Chain A
């Protein structure tokens, strides 16, 4: 299907610079939604199981939750939201002939900001290990390390994807397929962001 995309399909400016933003189109290649929806489904199962377990021993979960550093969690939320915004701006730039030269730097900036997430997470984990907290400390921390660990793996993959996208965005005359690829990679990064927006309140804030 992706081979049949026209420039208008992926939202590239027409010659007169006129693009209808309401034009319906599925972002990225349709196939990538199998990956995105499938991944969201897996995490949803984990979220539900976590909440069920929490419901069974609320005291233990509540007590252990106090050891989490909410400030670092909030900083990481800001980091991912900023990075997501930069990717969205980069896509806009890539679509417009006038600002296309900004697309690649914006994507590199998104990767740079996004990599801060890993740094902050490393500090957070270090804090836990220094306090003698490991995945086997109790049930809450098993879930904490599993959920954040799986998410961190997604962040790392996402950062590699962003670096690939930044290279794609350097092309002066990107094809419709390039833009669809960029959209797909961007959607993956937004999904990583979305997952964190659920994980953060679920682990750090829910009382």
Chain B
């Protein structure tokens, strides 16, 4: 690979990282302002009350659904960069990097599924309230309750980062521990299915929400890390691509 290509891949990776704030800002705006989903409809509401929320906000939710669907892919590029950087740590056969990446593709599917149901419900909000209630809970279970994939993804990142034995590690070690914490923390969402009220139900000031926000900020943190990695030498990653590492 020639030096021009080296610059090109470093530049591309920086562009990829900068997609992440686009995702968080657009998703946040659509979710909070467009659909008014913060706080989400309380799980203990009756079918009629939940259906009423969907009918009242149908127009806003439709636009929000459209934006959610459109910006979903913007979360992906940073995980590609993560994949490349993890391969620098692991070398030619990179099980953790592949595990992280495959879990990331499922993560985006979870966002897509929620967006599809949101659009579908907002399209015909005047159907039987029981149907609205059931589909409404599917949205929140999808966004909050699917934790196994996130657990594996963050665990893969954490273990890979902490296994980096080089004297000057690619990621700072504290970042590995932070990933571990996020991995453990997202598990809190697992219990959403058991609660109709309280901290672990899908509404209220829930810890999972906090965590998602923190995980988002963390992604920004990653932008900094990658910035350093760029300057320190993409030469290692080029070696990788030739299959010599």
Contact = CB atoms under 8 A, between A and B. Distances in A.
B143 interface: no
A136 B174 contact: no
A2 B188 CA distance: 31
A135 B177 contact: no
Nearest to B214: A38
Contact of B195 (A3, A34, A142): A142
Chain A: interface size category: 20 to 34
Interface string A68-97: 000000000000000000000000000000
Contacts of A2: 173
B178 interface: yes
Q: DSSP class of A's interface residues: helix, strand, loop or mixed?
A: helix
Nearest to A143: B198
Contacts of B177: 29, 31-35
Contact of A35 (B167, B180, B188): B180
A39 B173 contact: no
Contacts of B200: 146
B220 to A, nearest CB: 16
Contact of A49 (B172, B194, B199): B199
A53 interface: yes
Interface in B179-195: 180-181, 184-185, 187-188, 191, 194-195
Contacts of A153: 184, 187
Contacts, number: 58
Contacts of A45: 199, 207
B176 interface: yes
A150 B187 contact: yes
Interface in A154-170: 154, 157
Contacts of A142: 194-195, 198
A154 B180 CA distance: 12
A31 B173 contact: yes
Interface of B: 167, 172-178, 180-181, 184-185, 187-188, 191, 194-195, 198-200, 207
29 contacts: A3-B167, A29-B173, A30-B174, A31-B172, A31-B173, A31-B177, A31-B178, A32-B177, A34-B174, A34-B177, A35-B177, A35-B180, A38-B178, A38-B181, A38-B185, A39-B181, A39-B184, A39-B185, A42-B185, A45-B207, A46-B199, A49-B199, A53-B198, A135-B194, A142-B195, A143-B198, A145-B194, A146-B194, A153-B184
